Structures are given as structure tokens and as C-alpha cells.
Amino acid sequence: MYDKLLTVSDAAKMLGISASTLRRLEENGEVKTYGLKVVYTPGGQRRYLADEIQRIYSQTGFASKIGFGAKAAILIRDVTYAFMDSGSTLAINTPFNKTALCRLLGAARLHQSPTVFTRTVYQEDHPFSRMWGKKFSSITVLTDDAYLNQADAAVEDIAFDRMQSTCYISDLHGHDLTMWLKQQGVDTVILGGVTASGSLRATAIEAFQAGFHVVVPREIVGDRSQSVLDFTLLDLNARYADVLGIDEVLGWLAEQPVAAEQTQA
């Protein structure tokens, strides 16, 4: 229960104030300036309801819906054993619906939506990769041929339209992926994979800046804690993307043209 609430630091970031200011504004279990109720854990730690922060965002001009464009591509990041296997030090600790992911990829194939699979690969001879590895040492195990860095069994047999490896945080950085997507007529990217607070967030921001509609189905993204995931999805939805349920995304895809080979079958 309490893991799904926002911490003081996360709530303060969302509101654009310091954590100390947020604490000072509290009176009798409520932050009256914002209309926020304070929830206390059994250990006495302050928590704030994500739904209430979302309401404040909406009232102050955040979190408007952009919607889909005309044609979408599916960008999947790091659905590999390193992040999906519970025995890995990099494993996510939030629910991740692999069945929903496969349904999305199947619908994409049927409705002419390009699919892209990107892996993070640590490159010892690359300056940025070494610097990232110094900051986040666990990624140094993600070498190109490492077993942990191979596609998870749920997606290993899927024929993606594009497979790529990168030492960068964003799928789009350091590649011609943006150009490739636009050559395909894509104006919308649907993001899935891990982690929401890392590569997916970076990709969402870069894609948004490149002019793409950005959609994130909440069931097919994961992170290392539920509170981090909740905060990230809330912030993405407020600023850069539409965070939707997988059924809504599949419903939109179902309305798109069916691939010619499927029509002839």
C-alpha cells in the first residue's frame, strides 16, 4: 500500500518546491496550500497520494492529452534477461505484463506499425559508456554477447523491423532512428520496456522534442520500485507523453489499416 504513494522528495519535485518547504506547509495532516492530505506510514514517514498530485497538475495546466497521430511505431527497450530475470542485480521489481506486450507487437504487425527493439550495450572503448559505467557500475555486465543481455524469451522469436544496440540512455540518441521513423511516415511512438525512470523517460523526452506524439502503455513498462514507477509515469503524463492503458492503445491500433499481406491471406 505505502509503496504506491509518493515520498516527500517526489511530491516536492512534482510541485516545483523544496522538500523542506512542503514539510513547512503541512498543518494537521494537510498541506492546505495545495489541498493535499498527508498519509503517514507505520514508521511515521510522510507520503502523498499520486492521484491528488495529478489533480493539482491538471488544475495548473499540466497533463493535457495530446492523443495519437496518424501512424505509430512501437519502441521496446531492454526487455532482456538482465532486467526480467528476478535473479539479476538489474531486475525490475514491478509488475510487467509480457502478454500485453506480445499482444501489442502482434497488433503492430497486423496494422503496419514498425517495431523497434533496443538493447543497452556497455562498450568499454566508448567514452560515454565508460562514464555511465562509472556512475552506474551494474551496467558494465551488459556486454554485447552476455547471456543476460539477450532478448527475454517472451520476445526472442518476434521479428522486429529494426534491432539495435546502444550505449546511450535514449533509443534515439546516436542513431539514425528518428530519420528512419519519419521515412516510414511515423508520427507517434508507443514506448515499452525498462526502466521507466531511465531509458524510457529519456527516449520519451527526446522523441517529444523531435515532434512525435508519445504514448506509454502503463502495463508494459517497469522499474526497480513501484514508487519510482508511479512517480515517473505521473511526471511523463504531465509533461511529455500520454500514459494510457494497454486496451486503449490496442483499440486505437485496431482502427488502423491492415497490412496488405494480411488482407490477402
pLDDT digits (tens, 9 = 90+) for 179-189: 999 999 999 99
- Name the residue ranges covered by the structural domains of the chain: 2-59, 72-264
Look at the pTM and tell me if it is higher than 0.85: no
| Greater pLDDT, 62 or 197 | 197
> pLDDT value at position 114?
98
Beta carbons within 10 angstroms of residue 250's beta carbon: 18
Q: Which amino acid is at 120?
A: T
> pLDDT value at position 143?
97
Question: Phi/psi at 2 (nearest 5 deg)?
Answer: -70, -25
**What is the three-class DSSP state of 21?**
helix
CB 243 within 8 A of CB 100: no
Q: What is the DSSP string of 100-137?
A: HHHHHHHHHHHTT--EEEEEE---TTSHHHHHHHHHSG
> pLDDT value at position 215?
98
Mean pLDDT (whole number) for 125-143: 95
pLDDT at 256 over 50: yes
Cis ω before 41 (30° cut-off from 0): no
Looking at the domain 72-264, which fold is it?
Answer: Rossmann fold (3.40.50)
Please provide the average confidence, as pLDDT, over all residues in the chain: 89
Would 2-59 and 72-264 be classified into the same CATH topology?
no
Task: Kindly provide the b/e burial profile for residues 16-52, where b requires at least 16 CB atoms within 10 angstroms of the residue's own CB.
Answer: eeeeeebeeebeeeebeebebebbeeeeeebbbbbeb
Cell reading at 220: 508494459
Rounded distance between C-alpha atoms, residue 227 and residue 132, angstroms: 24
Please name the CATH architecture into which domain 2-59 falls.
Answer: Orthogonal Bundle (1.10)
> pLDDT value at position 2?
47
